[in-house]
Amino acid sequence: MAKRRVIRSSDRSFAGRAKRFGASFLTPSNFKRYWLNAEGAKRAGKIAGAGFLAMFLVLAYFAKDLPSPGKINARIGSQNTVFYDRTGQTKIFEVHGDKNRKVIEFQEMPQSIKDATVAIEDKDFYKHGAFSFMGVGRAFTGILFRDPTRGGGSTITQQYVKNALLTPERSYTRKIKELILAFEIEQLYKKDDILKLYLNEIPYGSQAYGVESACRTYFPQNIQGDKCAKNLTLAQSATLASIPQLPTYYSPYGQNRDALIARQHTVLDRMVEQKKISQQEADAAKIQGGPSLDNLVAKLNLSPVPKIATQKTDFPHFARYAQEYLEAKYGVRQVEDGGLKVITSLDIEKQKQAEEAIKKNMTNVRRLGGSNAALVSADPKTGQVLAMVGSYDYNDPDYGDFNVALAKRQPGSSFKPIVYATGFKKNWGPGSTIYDVQTDFGNYKPKNYTGKFYGVQSVRTALAGSLNIPAVKMLWLAGIPESLKTAKDLGITTLNESPSTYGLSLVLGSGEVKLNEMVNAYESFANGGTHYDATPILKVTDPNNKVVEDNEKPKGKKALDPQIPYLISSILSDNKARSYIFGANNPLVIPGRTVAAKTGTTENYNDAWTMGYTPDLVTGVWAGNNNNKPMTSSASTVSAPIWNTYMKSALQGYPNKEFTKPSGIKEVTLDANTGKLPTASTKQRRTDIFPSWYRPENVAGTQTGQVDKVSGKLATECTPPEAVETVTTAQISAEVPPSDPQYSKWFPPIAALARTLGYTSGGAIPVDKDDVHKCTDIKPTAQISATGTGPIQISVNVVQGTHPLKSLTVYLNDQIISTQEISGSTTYNFTNSPPAGSYTLRAVVTDAALYSGSSETTVTVASGGSAGGASFCGNQPCQPGQTP
């Protein structure tokens, strides 16, 4: 039998491991014999030679197809990229990249733009060679792990090569080509010359290439003679230097001006660190006062609109959206110079219907205090954007260029379905009971739009009627982190703060989202739970007809169990369920069609949203003011009419479709008041649909009993009738268990509601007997008298019984003419001037134990004033001896 080899502890050493792997020449004992002699030198030389040969072959292989860096200024002109509608037949837009470039000499560039660029892009530019070893390492790691956040660190030389000579693809081969060209350029040009090339080449957004064109685009007031860039201020230079990293994202005319300002501050801080400017100069140049466009215009002398505008198109907001979408994936240079043929998802007919719907309803929007509107419509089966109107009038000098469809705004209650969808993953469904009662959630007391509370509700009516208290409860039940995850799974990218930052107001739309992303989220409700990334692109081909991108038949991913979107759609298409709030004839209804819809209005009426869909079409509408000025009405009257107008026209030619019912959906009957399984004593039953995983809660046997309102204990023969209530134990309890932190806040108002319905809450009929009332108790008395024929003098003598007095009420023919909190025996005198006629006066006194006493008298008035005109001695009923 073969002997087992024992690996000794010494075998775990470096030497042991080296031997096991056949590398004994690396062990300390063999290293000298193997390498430090003539033979070792030959071995090392051969290895080094092989390495250099391999490196030479690799470089030669990649260098053979590279452009000559010595002919940079004579490179071939760009090819236009053309955008078409979804048919591929109608040209809607064309990009001409190099039309907005003006090359200037290095000495015409101010020192501030040179220093600012080096500070933010490559602080050691004048110290290192063609590339930074650490930066290259990060870039290759990023490619290896397919993580773009691991990239960055490219030198100015590398960035110039990437933008001027190569495509922006992320691959090892492109990175190697970039390094080769960067090395060659460093050998041919001085550092100042490279920086000059960079500042004349780099894209600054709005189709401006190079610092001179950027200056003319953003700061045309700087132009003196034929020069602009040389007149840039420090603040303007720092702003321009902030843009090239992500030209679209950091555009001063885009949605991320706050990020642009933060980056401008970073540029100035780094210039201080590198001793290019003083701290005082930096502080003076920093943009302060907020991210509004008006503020940037004032602080930077920025042009209100870029002077080099987007190429002419009938659909400017969609065109820019499609262009920026491709730029983010393939780079500005590839899109503007690459000669691409782009078939977009734009449906021209629906686009025109969207524009017409907004135009038709703008008079109504203005009447209600709004000035702008936006609309996005998409195909839920693909995620393709069919129509996009970013503002009412693109040519308006104040707001037209701003695309509200891509802006972050608070969505109001239109966010609620996402939270309810999260709750439906747990043991909830449309038929579950939820209580709309005034609730303090801990320094947060939401109210409903109507200012009323609606008591016992089903989840169906609570969501359809957009009640706020049930929605906040559902967010707590579903979980804030879980709801944020659902939103992310459905395509919303803007809710990236910690859950505690949003709090329970998240469900009411306190987090900012984009209209196009909300449409994308609702698509999963329309299609049965599948998420498709929103896209304005069907297909992209290069000049050689090679397909670059193809979204005609996209692959989606499951975002929700199919039962959940069906439950949501069932609620949002139930007009009867929402009519108690919206009325039966509301603009969320399209006769003859099954449509699901939800409105959303932010606090103070700043934003009005309407989201709605069929299985074939999802549309979202926003209306309001770009400057957040409040309107005077809600979404149902501001944005919903636009949605209704568009959907009616856009759905022409589509057959009416019901939402597909998935397997697993079941009907369950519950006690409507308790939300539990019904019993023989159930007063009202409710049958509705639930997901397959729903398990109803059983309820214990019920009891009926007489309970004293004062003591809360079992009534006795001594309890006065006024203090007795008949209750039925039905275990009405809070939506959370007693162990939940919110239980103590939710339960008291639910218990109060239960008592008004004749139920106990959370327990059985009490067994202890009323110990407040005794059969020997003396009731209070009230003796009323009246004199005069008009006005009449009324006197009520009140005598306290066993318990303290609580109130006195006086009636004239059953109409209350006086009610007063009282204490102690006394006489109350006052006058009343009713019209002529005969009347019955009645006084009722009640004490703290709900004992009462009363008396009445009749009086005839010959002539008098108006009924109800009681007179008092000052602000109180007259005391004995007082006269009015």
Res 493 pLDDT > 90: yes
> HSE-up of 237 (CA within 13 Å, CB side)?
26
User: In the chain, where are the structural domains located?
Assistant: 13-60, 97-310, 373-650, 700-775, 781-861
Strand partners, 432: none
pLDDT at 20: 46
Q: Which helix (H) or strand (E) holds 46?
A: helix 38-63
List pLDDT tens digits, range 740-766: 899 889 989 998 998 888 776 655 567
Per-residue pLDDT averaged across 358-379, rounded?
97
* 856 token code pair: 């009445």
Share of the chain above pLDDT 90, in %: 60
Smallest CA-to-CA distance from 117 within 266, 237, 286, 275 is with 237
Cα–Cα distance, 367 to 369 (Å, whole number): 6
* Average pLDDT of the residues in 291-305: 90
Q: What is the predicted pLDDT for the residue at 79? A: 72
Residue 805 scores a pLDDT above 80: yes
How far is the C-alpha of 778 from the C-alpha of 366, rounded, in Å? Answer: 67
Quick check: helix, strand or coil at residue 94? strand
CB atoms within 10 A of CB 593: 15
What pLDDT is recorded for position 779? 95
- Over the stretch 128-147, which tens digit does the pLDDT of each residue have? 754 544 544 444 444 444 44
Q: What is the pLDDT of residue 326?
A: 93
pLDDT in tens, 329-345: 888 778 877 889 999 99
Please name the amino acid found at residue 22: G
Reported as a single tens digit per residue, the pLDDT across 132-190 is: 445 444 444 444 444 433 334 588 888 887 777 665 555 556 666 677 676 778 778 89
Over residues 108-135, the pLDDT tens digits come to 999 999 999 999 999 999 887 545 445 4
Strand order in the sheet with 852-861: 815-821, 805-812, 837-847, 852-861
Structure tokens at 86: 């979804």
Q: Work out the mean pLDDT of the chain and round it to a whole number.
A: 85
Name the phi and psi angles at 872, rounded to 5: -130, 165
pLDDT at 136: 46
CA–CA dist 167, 180 (Å, integer): 15
pLDDT given for residue 151 in this prediction: 38
Parallel, antiparallel or unpaired: strands 826-832 and 792-799: antiparallel
pLDDT at 737: 85
Eight-state DSSP code of residue 376:
E
Please spell the DSSP secondary structure of 800-822, one letter per residue: --SS-EEEEEEEETTEEEEEEE-
**Highest mean predicted confidence (pLDDT) among 66-75, 438-447, 492-501, 659-668:** 659-668
User: How big is the chain, counted in residues?
Assistant: 884
Q: Which two tokens stand for residue 545?
A: 């007809």
What pLDDT does 172 receive? Answer: 55
C-alpha to C-alpha distance for 518 and 635, rounded to whole angstroms: 16
Give pLDDT tens digits for 703-749: 677 889 898 888 999 999 999 988 766 568 889 987 889 988 998 99
Q: How far apart are CA 191 and CA 231, in angstroms?
A: 23
Q: Is the pLDDT of residue 29 over 90?
A: no
pLDDT at 177: 66
Q: Fold for 781-861, please state it.
A: Immunoglobulin-like (2.60.40)
328 membership: H or E segment, kind and range = helix 316-330
| Percent with pLDDT over 70 in the chain | 81
Residue 2's pLDDT is what?
44
pLDDT at residue 581 in the model: 96
Q: Strands 759-761 and 724-732, how do they pair?
A: parallel
Per-residue pLDDT of 768-796, as tens digits, reads 899 999 999 999 999 999 988 778 899 99
Mean pLDDT of 479-501: 96
Q: Stretch 678-703: mean pLDDT, rounded?
A: 85
CA–CA distances in Å: residue 46 to residues 395, 538, 817:
71, 55, 115
Residue 55: pLDDT band (50, 70, 90) is low
CA–CA gap between residue 98 and residue 337 (Å, rounded): 7
Band of residue 298 on the pLDDT scale cut at 50, 70, 90: very high
Band (pLDDT 50/70/90 cuts) for residue 43 is low
Q: Which CATH code for domain 373-650? A: 3.40.710.10
CATH number of 97-310: 1.10.3810.10
Q: pLDDT, tens digit, for every residue of 572-619?
A: 999 999 999 999 999 999 999 999 999 999 988 999 999 999 999 999
The three state secondary structure string of 11-33 is HHCHHHHHHHCCCHHHCHHHHHH
Q: Is residue 651 scored above 70 in pLDDT?
A: yes
- For residue 575, the model assigns a pLDDT of 97
Taking residues 211-217, what's their average pLDDT?
Answer: 93
Q: Which two tokens stand for residue 617?
A: 């079409």
Residue 630: closest CA among 347, 860, 410: 410
Evaluate if residue 883 carries a pLDDT over 90. Answer: no
C-alpha angle 331-336-337 in degrees, rounded to nearest 5: 100
pLDDT at 184: 75
| CA dist 170 → 167, 227, 340, 863 (Å) | 9, 37, 19, 98
Per-residue pLDDT for 851 more than 60? yes
**CA atoms of 266 and 602, how far apart (whole Å):** 34
**Is the predicted pLDDT of residue 308 greater than 60, yes or no?**
no
Residue 70 binned pLDDT confidence (cut-offs 50, 70, 90): low
Angstrom CA distances, 593 to 82, 337, 655, 817, stand at 38, 47, 9, 55
Residue 243 pLDDT > 70, yes or no?
A: yes
Q: Rounded to two decimals, what is the model's pTM?
A: 0.67
* 279 Cβ contact list (under 8 Å, min separation 6): 272
pLDDT above 90 for 354: yes
Count of other CB atoms within 10 angstroms of residue 74: 7
Mean pLDDT of 59-71: 49
What is the chain's Cα-based Rg?
A: 39
The average pLDDT across 314-331 equals 91
